[in-house]
Chains A and B, each alone.
Chain A
């Protein structure tokens, strides 16, 4: 699939309500493109004319080891270099981390939570945790499956960025796709872009269902 970019980045940002400052923390495992996810999000924000900073935590740089990365997005220059302690959004690339690592440190109701899973929040044992959250700030998306379908590889990062764009609107899908195509080329770019667009649709549909539910209650 291809998405034509018809408006400038600044116009895209202006067309949505975006917070002046937004901080995202990504959790995953080495090999899942956690650092790349934070970098791509920062590029998407840069395309929209904003300041952005992406950086990883560093530990054991082994495949499978827990990894975290951060992205700050702001209307003004970002000077701080401290890790993101209180994220506005949390992206969990690997649900097996949920009960191993303190993923939710500094994260509270009001934040956006996106998890790569085929299960529900209740199935994941997170029912209690998310009870205080606004339902339209919560989403799950089977990002690994979407990546396998569109890219042929189980790397969920690009799909999750599409999901995050749908959930939080902090960047537009078009900017995410542009960032992906700047970073990758050929089939890898198109596969990742397709996975991101598919996840965007999944989360948008989820959100519309939630809205419809809320309206009928």
Chain B
């Protein structure tokens, strides 16, 4: 049903239509609207057959989801930022145990300095945990990905994380075709667990595995991720046939076929990039976009196919691997092994800094002219950075960076208005 709806509420409606049996949550912005809405539906009776459990921490949220899933229940939770880090041990366990938990990650920066705004630091911190990670470009896609996520998770016995940009999507009200109960019921069969704890038929899940078999068990986790590549593509195709629109899949290209410069990115920034690309195309520049939906598993072959004709690849990413640079770009480079082209890593949008079309146009023009540094920080204020470096050089007791820089830019600690 076509609705003008907040992203969080559209996702909540889609999750409810997936008939979760256990939803456990601990509030953390910018995820909170999602579980609040699901909680309200569980309380009002609109969502039946679901236990909504308020837990005492994110660690408990994922632990309860693991316990519920291990008994054969369809389990869902949501978190963001520090909340994800607090549950990280259980995040790895859900994947290692092969439990098909679905979790929304409302992407947000990680402190310190504390910052409630959007970037991809949280998702990147758990990229190798064994979860499938799907990134949504719009609220329509975020909504649709949840329906696909339950299907994928349960078919593969793997947990799936749907990443949607915090605030940018979660708090944006826009047009969404919200899947109906009938549509979801036709697409998502009831959960049939590969393994389930049952007092009538006792089994053990979560054995200790020593050196004699650990490598083999870990390899199976990798093999399942590789199997997931084909299923992610096929489930997206089946979703397209059933719902009449494209969502999900491994990656999507936009005007990339004959492009000399291709931007690679994840999530909601793709829309702004496409607008910038259209403007540059109107001026004759051959630019295009590759949007990666499935970051884990990483579609090496599809990325290679999509980029092998480009002369320059700009990977624009909303996270910084401190001490080395890009994360997505390291994966893209692996996909392009042996192919000679100019590759640039651009770090942008950290901690909620807006990425404007004007900045993107400038960036693409610089890339086309090979004026970019291999590691570029979009819209960085170097004067601010250099003044702090000078203060550090001038005094051993120069104090904390965050406070010094806030004083320098005369910002109030509360952030932008």
Q: Which A residues contact B (CB, under 8 angstroms)?
A: 35, 38-39, 42-43, 46-47, 51-60, 65-68, 78-83, 85, 101
Task: List 6 A-B pairs, Cβ < 8 Å.
Answer: A43-B4, A52-B173, A59-B415, A79-B270, A80-B357, A81-B165
Across the interface, A79 reaches (CB within 8 A) one of B165, B173, B275, B352, namely B275
Name the CB-closest residue of A to B167. Answer: A58
Chain A residues whose CB sits within 8 angstroms of the CB of B269 once the complex forms = 81
A80 to B174, CA, bound (A): 12
* A41 CB, nearest partner CB in chain B, Å: 10
Known: A81-B269, A82-B357. A55 touches B168 (CB 8 A): yes
Is the C-beta of B380 less than 8 angstroms from some C-beta in chain A?
no
Q: How far is the CA of A67 from the CA of B268 in the complex (A)?
A: 23
Instruction: Write out the residue numbers on chain B whose beta carbons fall within 8 Å of the beta carbon of A39.
Output: 6, 173
Set of chain B residues within 8 Å of A46, measured between Cβ atoms: 4, 175
Could you tell me the distance in whole angstroms from the C-beta of A74 to the nearest C-beta in chain B? Answer: 11
Contact A80 B417 (CB under 8 A): no
| Given A42-B4, A57-B417, A80:B271 Cβ within 8 A | yes
A57 contacts across to B, CB distance below 8 A: 416-417
Q: How far is the CA of A60 from the CA of B117 in the complex (A)?
A: 11
CB of A55 within 8 A of CB of B171, answer yes
Smallest distance from the beta carbon of B411 to chain A beta carbons, Å? Answer: 11
Q: CB within 8 A of A68: which of B6, B167, B417?
A: B417
Complex contacts, B173 vs chain A, CB 8 Å: 38-39, 42-43, 52-55
B275:A101 contact, CB within 8 angstroms: no
Task: Give 10 nearest A-B pairs by CB, closest first.
Answer: A79-B271, A46-B4, A60-B414, A55-B172, A54-B173, A80-B272, A39-B173, A66-B417, A53-B174, A43-B4
Bound-state Cα–Cα, A9 to B355, Å: 34
**A residues less than 8 Å from B399 (CB atoms):** none
B120 within 8 A of partner (CB): no
Chain A hits for B165, CB < 8 A: 81
Q: Are A58 and B271 within 8 A (Cβ)?
A: no
Contacts of B168 in A (CB 8 A): 55, 81
Q: Are A82 and B272 in contact, CB atoms less than 8 angstroms apart?
A: yes
Contact among A56, A60, A66, A101 for B171, CB-based, below 8 A: A56
Question: Which of the four size classes fits the interface of chain B?
Answer: 20 to 34
Query: Whole-angstrom distance between the alpha carbons of A89 and B268 in the complex?
Result: 25
Closest CB in chain B relative to A188 CB, distance in Å: 18
How many A-B pairs have beta carbons closer than 8 Å: the answer is 76
Chain B, Cβ-Cβ closest to A182: B4
A82 to B30, CA, bound (A): 18
State the CA gap A59–B415 with chains docked (Å). Answer: 6
Q: How far is the CA of A47 from the CA of B175 in the complex (A)?
A: 11
B residues less than 8 Å from A52 (CB atoms): 4, 173-175
Residue from B165, B271, B274, B352 with most neighbouring chain A CB atoms (10 Å): B271
Partner among B6, B272, B352, B417 whose Cβ is within 8 Å of the Cβ of A101: B417
B362 interfacial by beta-carbon distance below 8 Å = no
**Which residues on B sit within 8 Å (CB–CB) of A83?**
354
Contact status B272-A81, CB under 8 Å? yes
Q: How far is the CA of A39 from the CA of B3 in the complex (A)?
A: 12
Question: Per a CB cutoff under 8 Å, which of B4, B268, B416 touches A81?
Answer: B268
Q: Per a CB cutoff under 8 Å, which of A43, A65, A82 touches B354?
A: A82
CB-CB < 8 A to B417: which residues of A? 57, 59, 66-68, 101
On whether the beta carbons of A51 and B175 are closer than 8 Å, the reply is yes
Give residues of chain B (83-141) contacting chain A, Cβ–Cβ below 8 Å. Answer: 116-117
A60 / chain B contacts, CB cutoff of 8 Å? 414-415
A47 to B3, CA, bound (A): 9
Q: How far is the CB of A66 from chain B (nearest CB, A)?
A: 5
Kindly provide the distance from the CB of A87 to the nearest chain B CB, expressed in whole angstroms.
14
Q: Does B181 contact A (CB under 8 A)?
A: no
Complex-state Cα separation, A79 to B278, whole angstroms: 11
Task: Give 6 A-B pairs besides A52-B173, A79-B270, A85-B356 with Cβ atoms closer than 8 angstroms.
Answer: A38-B173, A79-B272, A80-B275, A81-B168, A81-B272, A82-B272
> Do A78 and B171 have beta carbons less than 8 Å apart?
no
Complex formed: what's the CA distance from A43 to B6 in Å?
Answer: 11
CA distance A11 to B357 in the complex (A): 34
- A93 vs B270: C-alpha distance in the bound complex, in angstroms? 32
> Which residues of A have CB within 8 Å of B414?
59-60, 65
Alpha-carbon separation in the docked complex, A65 to B415 (Å): 11
User: Bound state CA distance, A59 and B414, in angstroms?
Assistant: 6
CB distance from B80 to the nearest CB of A (A): 13
Chain B's closest residue to A79 (CB) is B271
Question: A58-B116, A65-B414 are known contacts. Are A82 and B174 too (CB-CB below 8 A)?
Answer: no
**Chain A residues with Cβ under 8 A from B175's Cβ?**
46, 51-52
Determine the distance from Cα of A81 to Cα of B142 in the docked complex, in whole angstroms: 15
Closest A residue by C-beta to B270:
A79
Minimum distance in angstroms from A97 CB to a CB of chain B: 9
Binary interface encoding of chain B residues 147-174 relative to chain A, with 1 for a CB under 8 A from any of its CBs, else 0: 0000000000000000001011001111
Complex alpha-carbon distance, A159 and B32, angstroms: 29
CB-based nearest B residue for A179: B4
Q: How far is the CA of A79 from the CA of B174 in the complex (A)?
A: 11
Q: Chain A residues near B117 (CB, 8 Å)? A: 58
Of chain B, the residue at the smallest CB distance from A38 is: B173
Min CB distance A99 to B, Å, is 14
Min C-beta distance of B417 to chain A, whole Å: 5
A46–B165 alpha-carbon span in the complex (Å):
23
Question: Which residues of A lie under 8 Å from residue B356 when comparing CB positions?
Answer: 82, 85
Complex interface: chain A residues within 8 A of B416 (CB): 57, 59
Closest chain A residue, CB of each to CB of B271: A79
Q: Which chain B positions have C-beta within 8 A of A55?
A: 167-168, 171-173
A79 touches B274 (CB 8 A): yes
Are B174's CB and A58's CB within 8 A?
A: no
Q: Are B171 and A58 in contact (CB under 8 A)?
A: yes
